[in-house]
A = this chain, B = another copy of it.
Amino acid sequence: MDPRPIGVFDSGFGGLTAVRQLRRIMPSETIIYFGDTARVPYGNRSRDTLLRYARQDVAFLRSFDPKAIVIACGTVSSNCLEELQAENKVPILGVVEPTVRRAIAATRSGRVGLAATRASVSSGAYERLFHRLAPAVEVVSRACPLFVPLVEEGRCRPGDVVIETVAEEYLGPLRGEIDTLVLGCTHYPLLREVIGRVMGPEVELVDAGAEAARAVRDLLEERDALSGGEDQGQARYYTSDQTEQFLRLAPLFLGEDVTGRAEQIDITRY
């Protein structure tokens, strides 16, 4: 048993959907979340810049002596995971590999869809990993650039003509073509219902946040490092920009309030 916290970071708010899943399946764990809201989005950064940012994010979380760190950012998971793992003793998990493994296990037709940001799609990182782990699986990618701003404006519910029109445009063409759809951005689980209606009930939606949470639980179980407590674990939230927007959006992603538990820090000092 290990009472130390689990650290989670993302470029912004999206990683909170992973925190939500962590708190759902391991309610007694303590969570430290860092959202790099001053430097979001990471998607367009050069590899050098990205690695510098990710090292600072890890260094900040390490100041809490965590027993594991989750990279809830697809871009960092795809581009910097190996370096970060090599440089740190604490186990570090990315969000991409558990998601890809789950989709490979789920598909029967061998045709998988990927919905992600424009940066994730053009990086080709998901496709490369699918190709390495299951060369026979065919991946059809769709960039969904308006999903993040629409979710951040709370437009994620069925019946909203704006999100429904955009979701149909982006994903309607995949209907009947695939049997599994990867929600390859941590914002997208909030669109599960809207996307589910577009794709139909036969298509399984694979949620990156939920898969990352499961991967952490498996790792901690294997190492006998679960907290073992019975009380509800605490969660603390840190951002690199003012907390105002964070306090407004976090409840949407987490399904719980964060008032009094969010604080701004200067990430450039780490």
A241, CB-defined interface residue at 8 Å? yes
Task: Tell me the bound Cα distance from A149 to B149 in angstroms.
Answer: 7
**CB-contact partner of A241 in B44, B149, B166, B241, under 8 A:** B44
1/0 per residue, CB under 8 A from B, across A244-256: the answer is 0100000000000
Task: Tell me the bound Cα distance from A155 to B146 in angstroms.
Answer: 10
A46, CB-defined interface residue at 8 Å? yes
Residues of B within 8 A of A87 (CB): none
Residue of B nearest to A49 (CB): B38
Number of copies: 2
A55 to chain B, nearest CB (A): 17
Interface size range on A against B: 10 to 19
A165, CB-defined interface residue at 8 Å? yes
Is the pair B165, A161 in contact by a Cβ cutoff of 8 Å?
Answer: yes
Residue of B nearest to A41 (CB): B40
Task: Tell me the bound Cα distance from A146 to B45 in angstroms.
Answer: 23
Task: Tell me the bound Cα distance from A49 to B242 in angstroms.
Answer: 12
A219 to chain B, nearest CB (A): 35
Task: Tell me the bound Cα distance from A4 to B153 in angstroms.
Answer: 44
Residue of B nearest to A245 (CB): B44
A218 to chain B, nearest CB (A): 37
A145, CB-defined interface residue at 8 Å? yes
Task: Tell me the bound Cα distance from A149 to B162 in angstroms.
Answer: 13
Is the pair B44, A242 in contact by a Cβ cutoff of 8 Å?
Answer: yes
Interface set, chain A 153-174, CB cutoff 8 A to B: 153, 155, 161-162, 165-166
Residue of B nearest to A37 (CB): B44
Residues of B within 8 A of A155 (CB): 146
A8 to chain B, nearest CB (A): 22
A104, CB-defined interface residue at 8 Å? no
Is the pair B162, A242 in contact by a Cβ cutoff of 8 Å?
Answer: no
A40 to chain B, nearest CB (A): 10
**CB-contact partner of A145 in B38, B153, B166, under 8 A:** B153
Chosen A-B contacts, 5 in total, with CB atoms closer than 8 Å, are A38-B49, A44-B241, A146-B149, A161-B165, A162-B166
